[in-house]
Amino acid sequence: MLGIGLLAFVIVQRLAELVYARANTAHLLAAGAVEHEAAHYGLIVAVHLSWIAALLWLAPGRPVVMVFFIIYVLLQGFRVWVFASLGRRWTTRIITVPGETLVAKGPYKYFRHPNYMVVCGEIACLPLVFGLWEIALIFTVLNVAVLFIRIKAEEQALQPLRQRP
């Protein structure tokens, strides 16, 4: 039952994040923001949907490994810290608002891409909650490949903001 509840939580969480991201994207674009490098976005969506589909297919009925469950719960605390730090700037896309400065509070004070750290942890950890190390390995590799493209594009988009006095 705990496992099914966790999978349901993840699905609801991801759907809520998409709604939140869409609202934030609309707000930012209305304020003059610019979206960068949208072409790879479909790859990110495909990896995440496939990861969730694999979990929905293979995880039900499997026992929950509590140590990984606890790690996953702790990652959610880090996720909330990221969201709280970015506020209306959090989106699933690469968007910059000309003239604004980079967020330098919360985890962004210590790490350049803390949201991606959370996502990497989740993609690796959640399958391990169900003992699915093969799914953790496959999707961690796929996620890292997509993040390589994503972070390169994001760094390029953020570079002008980093060069500001």
| pTM for the whole structure | 0.90
pLDDT value of residue 146: 96
Domain CATH code at residue 121:
1.20.120.1630
How does DSSP classify residue 136?
A: H
- Domain count for the chain, please give it: 1
DSSP annotation of 100 reads P
User: pLDDT, tens digit, for every residue of 61-111?
Assistant: 999 999 999 999 999 999 999 999 999 999 999 999 888 888 999 999 999
Domain that holds residue 21: 2-162
Rounded Cα distance between 154 and 49, Å, is: 22
Contact 71, 131 (CB under 8 A): no
Decide if pLDDT at 165 tops 60.
no
